[in-house]
Amino acid sequence: RKEVEQDPGPFNVPEGATVAFNCTYSNSASQSFFWYRQDCRKEPKLLMSVYSSGNEDGRFTAQLNRASQYISLLIRDSKLSDSATYLCVVNMITGFQKLVFGTGTRLLVSP
């Protein structure tokens, strides 16, 4: 089993749609979780951290389910500019703290 797994997509949605991505992780001792966004041929950029109680930043909502070992990202009112690859990142505790990146979920928002 991969340490962090994501559906690669692509998710094709129209502008204004709501879309959700899930990400599962294998290490139950993981402490920190993040969503990054990566545009084509660019560096990954932090979108938001994921807190135990869930958190929201504008149109973006992140949730953590420790019992089932997954995190989710919900995007409301999708914009064309949301088209990107979304990377799930988990801080694994394996002797030292290691951030493990998922391979990403591609989102395409069309007019």
Q: Hey, what amino acid is at 74?
A: L
Q: Which is nearer to another protein, 1 or 14 (by Cβ)? A: 1
Q: By C-beta, is 1 or 41 nearer to another protein?
A: 41
For 87, how many CA atoms within 13 A lie in the half-sphere containing its CB? 18
Closest approach, Cβ 6 to another protein, in A, equals 9
Task: Please state the φ and ψ torsions of residue 103, each to the nearest 5 degrees.
Answer: -80, -10
Instruction: Count CB atoms within 10 A of the CB of residue 66.
Output: 12
Compute the chain's Rg from CA coordinates: 14
Kindly tell me which of 72 and 103 has the beta carbon lying closer to another protein.
103
Q: Least distance to another protein from the beta carbon of 98, Å?
A: 8
What's the min distance (Å) between Cβ of 79 and another protein?
Answer: 23
Of residues 82, 88, 80, 73, the one with CA closest to residue 39: 82
What residues line the site for another protein (CB under 8 A)?
31-32, 34, 36, 41-46, 49, 87, 89, 91, 96-99, 101-104
Mode of pairing for the β-strands spanning 105-110 and 11-14: parallel
From the CB of 18, what's the least distance to another protein, in Å? 25
Q: Which is nearer to another protein, 61 or 105 (CB)?
A: 105
